[in-house]
Structure 1
Amino acid sequence: MASASPRPSHRRSLRTRRTLVVSAAAVAAAVGAGVLVMNANAYPVDLYHQVLPAKDGWAASGSGTTGGAKADAAHTFTVSTRAQLVKALGSATDTTPRIIKVKGTIDANTNDSGKKLTCADYASGTGYSLSAYLKAFDPATYGKKAPSGTQETARKAAQDKQKKNIVLRMPSNTTIVGVPGTKAGILGGSVLVQNVKNVIIRNLTFVDTQDCFPQWDPTDGSAGEWNSNYDSVTLRGATNVWADHNTFTDAPTFDKTEATYYGRKYQVHDGALDITNGSDLVTVERNQFLNHDKTMLIGSSDTDSTGKLRVTIHHNLWKGIVQRAPLARIGQIHLYNNVYDTTTVNGYAPKYSIDSRAKAQVVAERNVWKIPADAKVAKLLSGDGTGSVAGTGNLVNGKATDVVAAYNAANSKKLKTTVNWTPALTAGLQTTVTSLLTDLTGTTGAGTLS
């Protein structure tokens, strides 16, 4: 590379699901009622007050990312239910530093009393039903125009009820961390980090974030698409965010099990971790991204926010990912020491790993791909002819490979091979990556903090 079964209707319950934590044996041991963990060198580390290390990616810029490290006792919470989590988060405009310790799995589709809520509960009283919606917007009779009318209004009303329940808004100066040894995570929830700064999200498993009420858009592509809301984590206009040692997965509701309507998959999942609307100074490290389609979007449009969208993505494991690992627009994105296993898993067949478009300036160096013997290196990347991908030292099946050259040789819309910036915040960058696949399998994702 140059340098520089059909889906049940909405009347069925959202069944209780076990949290999936994909990791090797935990590296860390809990000490002092779970407040301290031991790192690999046996030094005690206060997990909850830990801040982003210096030079650890774009989120280390300026005053760095400290989250709720300065929280007092009154703003330090341990939560195990949705209602407790909502109370601990407080107002999204309250900038008082806070630490939130998540103990066990929190089901976002529950009410304040802990009662399980289903899609039918959200639809109740709105007039929405899937069968009525399908009848109203059948392309054979409705045509190719944006849905409107009684059933679309009802769908939006039902969606708003679910949104009010499952979207969890993070305030500035907040650290949210899973308590080690408790399989900490959020089931069916969507953490929203919007127009705030200085946020840390660590050691959590985000499971099966679903939209009960996807919208049919007949104008999306040549055949139309079902589109859903709710990423597991969404950054919109957020600054200085550190996402570390989390696991993101659709399991156990894999896309292959969803029904097909109007000839298109009824898609209930959106993104895993999206970074959009002028978000800036973000470090995403040592996470596992598993069993998902549209995984990470950087930049919501081709005109999102020039001068922002600066993101570092390093030491993450991507497996069973179809696309967007990431899809990058506009910003300066540094990807290093990531592992991409493009084996088809649970029906998730990869289209590409990295997409650079809308003049994105991507530096991808010393990453590792594991691909099937019959896979083509040219399909690891994607672009629109305006984006750049620079960097060296990438391996494919253990062999040094210029993945950009392979892509450009097979495509008319070429990726540019130079960028207008030089990464400086590169803490932990490994120049030797031959053992990276093995190393990251046991040290990334929730439950492996050391």
Structure 2
Amino acid sequence: MRHTRIRVVGAAALALSFTGPAWTAQPATASPAAAEPARQVLPAGDGWASEGTGTSGGAAADASRVFTVTTWEELRGALAVAGTEPRIVKVVGTLNATAAGCAAFEAPGYDFEAYLAAYDPAVWGYETEVSGEQEDLRAASAKAQGKAVKAYVPANTTIVGVGRNAGITGGSLQIQGVDNVVVRNLTVESPLDCFPQWDPTDGATGAWNSEYDSMVVYGSTHVWVDHNTFTDGAHPDSSLPSYYGEPYQQHDGELDIVRGADLVTVSWNVFADHDKTLMIGNSDSAGATDRGRLRVTLHHNLFENVVERAPRVRFGKVDAYNNHFVVAATGYAYSFGIGFESQLVAEKNAFTLADGVQPGKILKKWKDAPVTAAGNVVNGAQVDLLAVHNAQFPDEILRADAGWTPSLRTRVDVPRAVPALVGHRAGAGRLR
């Protein structure tokens, strides 16, 4: 078994190392100054996650439940420690969930060249989903990767990066079915799916579909995601190959908030250079779990050169204000996706659009739902996003008035000041 050490930092000056079935103590040094960001709680009134009991994560953790980790295995070990008492996990450096490479997850007999030969549309066609030996082996390989790259975050936990260069690459943080979680100050590089599935029935010419979001909030409540940087890092979509004439898509989302998740505040983050960025609600048919939930606040985030889903919303009452959207000249689809039974309020945001990008594209109608869009500026000038959308897309008319007024806002900045403010303060390494 690989030796994993998890240092515990606090007044008790103890460290634990997991070497098998038992925990042992070793000396460690306390660092009160480094603990300060980990002890911060979401301010009262700061978005939906402040509703009710508020969000404190592991701020009240005893010294024995403060862990410092330097590898992906150590992080998973710290999160697996039993009990729901508050815990703090400090991340030092970059934790690599796939350091061993894709070959480490391959099922015996899996061969990508054989996969390509078996399911080439010239052989398989486009009418039937793929099946057979190589698809079964691909699925087994994907299952092995999924088991290795997912880390499950328990209730009453704060995960915080130490300093300016802490982060995770290749891993997926799963905040599933728990309450009271804080994630701050991490640079999170999107997991690269080693084994995308070819679906010949996806669209007219088929598509490659991938798994593994950087972070998933699934059926959880009171979650604060703050001062993180989400990026494709060393593997942007532009670097990925094509097969069967379609992009070999190895990325999924950066942040998904789904399956009855509720009371979430996403603040001062950077979402950069990604396609399907942030989804709130993942199915029109999930009303039984999602209706009345998916209440999310997005404020002071930077969305830079993202293609779509910033966010796409179903069901939820989503408050998006004081965010900055930097839009590239090519590849842009939309920013706000208006989906089934959504109630989006988009106010006092700033958009910097490249030449040739029309502001009518900022909103996208997926299903009929009302939206409030007020006080937003585009390239420094105030623009009625609803009016320009409806003028540009007369066959996709959106209705005004989301039907509710946000009240959980601690500060609202003048939208023309947002680009400089967010550019200076958002993202990992900029905690105050």
What TM-score do the two structures reach when normalised by structure 2? 0.89
Match of 1:246 in 2: 228
Match of 1:208 in 2: 190
SS at match of 1:282: strand
Shift in alpha-carbon separation, 1:74–1:120, aligned structure 2, 3 A: same
Pick one of 224, 234, 241 that aligns with 2:206.
224
Partner letter of residue 317 of structure 1?
Answer: L
Q: Distance in 1 between matches of 2:223 and 2:181?
A: 5
Pick one of 48, 53, 62 that aligns with 2:38.
48
Match of 1:5 in 2: none
Q: 1:389, CA displacement in angstroms?
A: 1.8
Q: 1:267, CA displacement in angstroms?
A: 0.4
Q: 1:64, CA displacement in angstroms?
A: 0.5
Q: Distance in 2 between matches of 1:341 and 1:162?
A: 33
Partner letter of residue 90 of structure 1?
Answer: A
Shift in alpha-carbon separation, 1:139–1:34, aligned structure 2, 3 A: farther
Checking the alignment, whether the CA contact within 8 Å between 2:121 and 2:244 is kept in structure 1 is: yes
SS at match of 1:289: strand
Q: 1:274, CA displacement in angstroms?
A: 0.7
Pick one of 312, 324, 332 that aligns with 2:317.
332
Match of 1:26 in 2: none
Partner letter of residue 322 of structure 1?
Answer: V
SS at match of 2:271: strand
Q: Find out whether 1:73 has 2:76 as its counterpart.
A: no
Q: Find out whether 1:149 has 2:128 as its counterpart.
A: no
Checking the alignment, whether the CA contact within 8 Å between 2:191 and 2:213 is kept in structure 1 is: yes
Q: Distance in 1 between matches of 2:249 and 2:355?
A: 30
Checking the alignment, whether the CA contact within 8 Å between 1:385 and 1:416 is kept in structure 2 is: no
SS at match of 2:305: strand
Q: Distance in 1 between matches of 2:338 and 2:84?
A: 35
Match of 1:306 in 2: 291
Match of 1:97 in 2: 86
SS at match of 1:243: strand
Q: 1:223, CA displacement in angstroms?
A: 1.9
Q: Find out whether 1:443 has 2:425 as its counterpart.
A: yes
Alignment gaps of 5+ in structure 1? 1-31, 38-44, 110-115
SS at match of 2:403: coil
Alignment gaps of 5+ in structure 2? 1-28
Checking the alignment, whether the CA contact within 8 Å between 2:66 and 2:87 is kept in structure 1 is: yes
Match of 2:153 in 1: 170
Q: Distance in 2 between matches of 1:373 and 1:388?
A: 29
Match of 2:398 in 1: 415
Q: Distance in 2 between matches of 1:225 and 1:244?
A: 33
Q: Deviations over 1:156-196 (max 9, x none)?
A: 11011111111111001100000124x00001111011111
Checking the alignment, whether the CA contact within 8 Å between 1:193 and 1:235 is kept in structure 2 is: yes
Checking the alignment, whether the CA contact within 8 Å between 2:42 and 2:50 is kept in structure 1 is: yes
Match of 2:14 in 1: none
Q: 1:435, CA displacement in angstroms?
A: 2.0
Q: Deviations over 1:243-280 (max 9, x none)?
A: 00000000221111111111210000000011111111
Q: Distance in 2 between matches of 1:205 and 1:124?
A: 31
Q: Greater shift after overlay, 407-416 or 160-169?
A: 407-416
Partner letter of residue 331 of structure 1?
Answer: G
Match of 2:77 in 1: 87
Checking the alignment, whether the CA contact within 8 Å between 2:237 and 2:249 is kept in structure 1 is: yes
Q: Distance in 1 between matches of 2:225 and 2:269?
A: 8
Q: 1:120, CA displacement in angstroms?
A: 1.3
Shift in alpha-carbon separation, 1:203–1:403, aligned structure 2, 3 A: same
Q: Deviations over 1:70-111 (max 9, x none)?
A: 2111111000011211110016x84221100001111111xx
Checking the alignment, whether the CA contact within 8 Å between 1:384 and 1:414 is kept in structure 2 is: no
Match of 2:363 in 1: 381
Partner letter of residue 214 of structure 2?
Answer: S
SS at match of 1:321: coil
Match of 1:112 in 2: none
CA RMSD of aligned residues (A): 1.6
Q: 1:147, CA displacement in angstroms?
A: 1.6
Partner letter of residue 328 of structure 1?
Answer: V
Q: 1:54, CA displacement in angstroms?
A: 0.4
Pick one of 52, 58, 63 that aligns with 2:53.
63
Q: Find out whether 1:318 has 2:307 as its counterpart.
A: no
Match of 1:358 in 2: 340
SS at match of 1:309: coil
Match of 1:36 in 2: 33
Checking the alignment, whether the CA contact within 8 Å between 1:286 and 1:444 is kept in structure 2 is: yes
Q: Distance in 2 between matches of 1:236 and 1:145?
A: 31
What TM-score do the two structures reach when normalised by structure 1? 0.86
Q: Which has the higher contact order (CA 8 A, sep 6+)?
A: 1
Q: 1:33, CA displacement in angstroms?
A: 7.3
Partner letter of residue 323 of structure 2?
Answer: N
Q: Deviations over 1:379-426 (max 9, x none)?
A: 111012412220311000000000111111122122221112221111
Q: Distance in 1 between matches of 2:204 and 2:408?
A: 42
Match of 1:19 in 2: none
Q: Identity across aligned pairs (percent)?
A: 45
Checking the alignment, whether the CA contact within 8 Å between 2:349 and 2:376 is kept in structure 1 is: yes
Instruction: Give the number of equivalent residue pairs.
Output: 399
Partner letter of residue 57 of structure 1?
Answer: G
Q: Distance in 2 between matches of 1:35 and 1:74?
A: 14
SS at match of 2:135: helix
Q: Distance in 2 between matches of 1:36 and 1:320?
A: 36
Checking the alignment, whether the CA contact within 8 Å between 2:373 and 2:384 is kept in structure 1 is: no
Pick one of 262, 266, 269 that aligns with 1:284.
266
Q: 1:35, CA displacement in angstroms?
A: 4.2
SS at match of 1:165: helix
Q: 1:34, CA displacement in angstroms?
A: 6.0
SS at match of 1:427: coil
Shift >6 Å, 4+ stretches: none
Partner letter of residue 306 of structure 1?
Answer: R
